[in-house]
Structure 1
């Protein structure tokens, strides 16, 4: 088995995904691999070009590309590259310090989106064509691109020109299936959970209006978010504040009947995968790669961004039809166990690495075996 360095971002949901992969490595006893969580420093983040994905009211001086800042800070890891047979890096910025290493160690870049998609679908109008071109060069220099969604993988192939045989889709890793599962509730009010640090971008403002005007009649809304204002103005709503991921999946999800995720901009949503693993169906926006996490009408409901009537009716249908709620939760969990179980995700990544390295060795042997041309 090749010796792999997993070099994973600590930003947003990647911290959680990385933790699941690290747990899977330990569970499998693959002690030769090394896992490192790494992102730009706080100062570094202030100096880089944002993708336009986040809202940030603090001081921000967009001077450097994220690739540059991470490369500066990753020197101590770059010097050890020859110790490994391959590097799996999430995301593009984490791959940047390694792609043109002098030792020829192949880099497997894990992505959730591309800069072009940020610009065209999320309104990142400040993202320059030169930055998109630089990302294309990084993809070309990578041995393989591992995308968490077909949505992003298709963009890598169709708009960046990467050969399909160098692009794979591996869904995000959720919590293990051994974690607690929600209990079916045949009657009574629904407990509905919202998780989103960036409250406005995740559709929290829309959700408060829906809860105030209609949903409060039959559901208890639980909000996990950093926002703290106007907490008392929404009926039948509990504000939990920022909550560690482990508490969400061990304490909140087992008492949740439906996850609601009315996000406006998202590449994917690990919380949807986590809810599914807990046997909780989701009602979510059809944006980015989220539509690949939910089988509409089977494991949850998909709605257009901001579609008030669709979101409200979807939750109300599950309140009225408890058999549907039970069936959706069961199907969501079965599907999650097949594709989001951490050991499944980890093994699939290792298979991609092993397959690619075997192909490289085969090509190398073929080249060595080619006859030299005769002298003229």
Structure 2
């Protein structure tokens, strides 16, 4: 079977999709399978001019929004790039972004399309203060779920929680499939180490939706309680300057290291002790699985797909979002009790190896792909 994995961002972009899709090629390399990757280069801007018509809703009713206009233009650009560069035909296309899926179906209308939804762009925009709940942009973005259902042969998500989130916006929620992201076990190797001072780490984009402000407040509380620690923040984003100022104001700047963007954090993640990310929304939370495969103790929030990875008190600890005292309490448990920390980390590693290995996910995807006979190639 000749497959195309249609991405939006380049494969080196940090995030759940890039943690999985490029590594799938190796698992599909055989006489029976062939797989290509396709994405929109960052340099492609304002090239497309095609009229955009969706079959399930009229996007122009939201067209006065600049964010909607930008989204539509990006879709036009993806269409333009696809038509310019895609001469090969495929038996099946698996898309990992709404724009990619809509464009691919437009260019290859007779090729079966599987669309995986990895995150809720509208939810993140709301939490980041970029759009208003119920506003034009929100209405436009949730309308896309129905359009994607209409053009896809199969609609999929990465967690049961996200499937439930999408359900109100489509016609037949019972047809949504769930396959979590998978991770190449060879990239994550636990390393025995003994840190005199507990090392906390988070890997994330620095935006309000990720709750790093709550983490800094919790760490200030830990310091007030007399606990020693170092907090490593790996990632960049528009909130970085504000977060650095907050760390200074809270008196924890000396305990906090801001690394900025790092391409392969998994290479040194195993040397830390505790992974913590108090997200306000998370469709799956790939970085929790990555931290678990690095054998770190996990502390997260009970939102989205995170509770599907973390069973509170068994393989990690869960707290409510925006609750810095509860987060400080959870961190205190794993900081002050190394044996308990090891027990949690080992359980997290066992679960991640079992459920989120790339081998297992690749086998699930192969079963899914084989359900769709080759269409008339577009």
TM-score normalised by length of structure 2: 0.78
Q: CA deviation at 1:351?
A: 1.8
SS class of match (1:146)? strand
> Against the structure 1 CA distance between its residues 14 and 245, is the aligned structure 2 distance closer, same or farther, given a 3 Å change threshold?
closer
> Against the structure 1 CA distance between its residues 63 and 312, is the aligned structure 2 distance closer, same or farther, given a 3 Å change threshold?
closer
Partner in structure 2 of residue 97 of structure 1: 103
Matched, 1:250 2:242: no
Q: CA deviation at 1:218?
A: 2.7
Partner in structure 1 of residue 22 of structure 2: 22
Could you list the per-position Cα deviations for residues 82-104 of structure 1 after superposition, in whole angstroms to 9, with x for gaps in the alignment? 61011111111210112245651
Note the 1:1-376 alignment, pairs <5 A.
Answer: 2-10=1-9, 17-18=17-18, 20-30=20-30, 32-38=34-40, 43=45, 61-64=66-69, 66=71, 69-78=74-83, 80=86, 83-101=89-107, 103-114=109-120, 124-126=133-135, 127-164=137-174, 166-183=175-192, 185=194, 188-215=196-223, 217-226=227-236, 227-228=240-241, 229-230=244-245, 233-234=251-252, 236-246=254-264, 248-251=265-268, 253-357=269-373
Deviates more, 1:70-79 or 1:215-224: 70-79
> Against the structure 1 CA distance between its residues 311 and 346, is the aligned structure 2 distance closer, same or farther, given a 3 Å change threshold?
same
SS class of match (2:6)? strand
SS class of match (1:194)? strand
Structure possessing the higher relative contact order (Cα contacts under 8 Å, 6 or more residues apart): 2
Decide whether the 8 Å contact of 1:13 with 1:270 is kept in 2. Answer: no
SS class of match (1:161)? coil
Could you list the per-position Cα deviations for residues 268-298 of structure 1 after superposition, in whole angstroms to 9, with x for gaps in the alignment? 3221111011011211122222222212111
Q: CA deviation at 1:193?
A: 0.5
Partner in structure 2 of residue 53 of structure 1: none
Decide whether the 8 Å contact of 2:17 with 2:96 is kept in 1. Answer: no
CA RMSD, Structure 1 to Structure 2 (Å)? 3.2
Q: CA deviation at 1:245?
A: 3.5
Could you list the per-position Cα deviations for residues 309-349 of structure 1 after superposition, in whole angstroms to 9, with x for gaps in the alignment? 22111111112322221111111111111222223223322
Unaligned runs of 5+ in 2: 47-64
Q: CA deviation at 1:148?
A: 0.7
Distance 1:291 1:13 in 2: 25
Decide whether the 8 Å contact of 1:201 with 1:265 is kept in 2. Answer: yes
> Against the structure 1 CA distance between its residues 15 and 95, is the aligned structure 2 distance closer, same or farther, given a 3 Å change threshold?
same
> Against the structure 1 CA distance between its residues 159 and 132, is the aligned structure 2 distance closer, same or farther, given a 3 Å change threshold?
closer
Distance 2:166 2:177 in 1: 10
Q: CA deviation at 1:130?
A: 4.8
Distance 1:328 1:195 in 2: 19
TM-score normalised by length of structure 1: 0.78
Q: CA deviation at 1:264?
A: 2.4
SS class of match (1:64)? helix
Partner in structure 2 of residue 50 of structure 1: none
Distance 1:95 1:134 in 2: 11
Deviates more, 1:211-220 or 1:278-287: 211-220
Decide whether the 8 Å contact of 1:299 with 1:328 is kept in 2. Answer: yes
Deviates more, 1:27-36 or 1:118-127: 118-127
Partner in structure 1 of residue 59 of structure 2: none
Distance 2:338 2:304 in 1: 29
SS class of match (1:355)? coil
> Against the structure 1 CA distance between its residues 320 and 14, is the aligned structure 2 distance closer, same or farther, given a 3 Å change threshold?
closer
Distance 1:272 1:134 in 2: 28
